[in-house]
Amino acid sequence: MEATRRRAIRDGLLQSAGILVALALSAVVLLGMGVSPWEAAARLVGGAFSSPGDIASVLRTWAPVLLCSAGLLLTFSAGMWNIGIEGQVVMGAVCTTGALRLLQGVLPPWAALLLSALAGLVGGALWGALAGALRLYGNVNEIFGGLGLNFIANGLTVYLVLGPWGRPGSASTSGTEPFPRALWLPAFPGFDVSPYEVALGLLAIAAVAIVLRGTYFGLRLKAIGQSLRAAFLLGVPTASHLMAAFFFCGACGGLAGWVLVVGASTRHQLYPLISGGYGFLGVLVVMLANRRAGWVLPISFFFAAIAMGSVGLDSSLAGVIQGLLVLGVLFSQGLQRRYLPREEGS
């Protein structure tokens, strides 16, 4: 117990040092841009929390990032870098749009929304399963396979927007015809974010945390992530577990795509690059959280606040800060593994 406590303190100090180094580098970047770090920090906080509208924008960004992060916890725990999460979000949005186009005016709005959520979930799940199948049965690295599937999903979106689902009399990549207000998720008056969006993200994180900590499936995923070969030799059905991880990760991404179409204050249409980089942001969150579900909540909220708070600054500032934070933590973890190995028997 004493050794475990010392290791936890040591790991925490190393990770904190990595974050401090990343913040120092961010300050250097800001100074190079001619911006005071303190002024930039004040503007970031003000841009994210100065009004109810700003807070709603942060929560609106937080919801899809939470959903993507929840799914990525599964694949990352299994040692799989599911970079194809962006395409899974896009396919969720595509299937959501297709379902709503078929169901609007046919079913009550609440039924159309529920069925479109199911369509988005299934679309993302199948796209995730395809990435898993390429990895397991085609021997295609999940990073390259995922990136290829991202391009295909985005290309399909452009085709649909310009072709079969294009606006009447207008061939434009601006998007499909927006859906009527009845097919939007309800929001609080004067607060343009739906509680259903945030609740869905929180429920996804909670469910994944329970699966990873309290089920045989979660424990086996972690075993696969530690050593795929050892898990296989110990009798773990690695192929089915990895496919399930990709499937459920894609399902979470598909629900994020649904939120991006029907959310309270989105564009309520399908358009190219609808994923908005939320999937890649989820990758950064899970990396920074070191695959721990409890840390995903504050880190993803912090990243959402940076993304929205940086609107008044240079548009690339949020990405620079987020990337440096992840690199700093990964560097500290690398130092830990190289120079501070675990004690024997701990």
Distance CA 274, CA 307 (A): 16
pLDDT given for residue 90 in this prediction: 97
Which residue has better confidence, 317 or 288?
Answer: 288
Distance CA 76, CA 290 (A): 9
pLDDT digits (tens, 9 = 90+) for 252-278: 999 999 999 999 888 899 999 999 889
Q: What percent of the chain has pLDDT over 90?
A: 56
Which residue has better confidence, 114 or 321?
Answer: 114
Split at pLDDT 50, 70, 90, the class of 322 is confident
pLDDT digits (tens, 9 = 90+) for 204-235: 999 999 999 989 999 999 999 989 889 988 88
**Hey, what CATH class is 52-312 in?**
mainly alpha
Structural tokens at position 185: 């998720």
Distance CA 116, CA 106 (A): 13
Q: Is 50 exceeded by the pLDDT of residue 292?
A: yes
Name the pTM for this structure.
Answer: 0.88
Give the CA count within 13 Å in the CB-facing half-sphere of 224: 26
pLDDT given for residue 346 in this prediction: 42
**Beta-carbon count within 10 A of 234 CB:** 11
Q: Is 80 exceeded by the pLDDT of residue 289?
A: yes
Q: Is 80 exceeded by the pLDDT of residue 331?
A: no
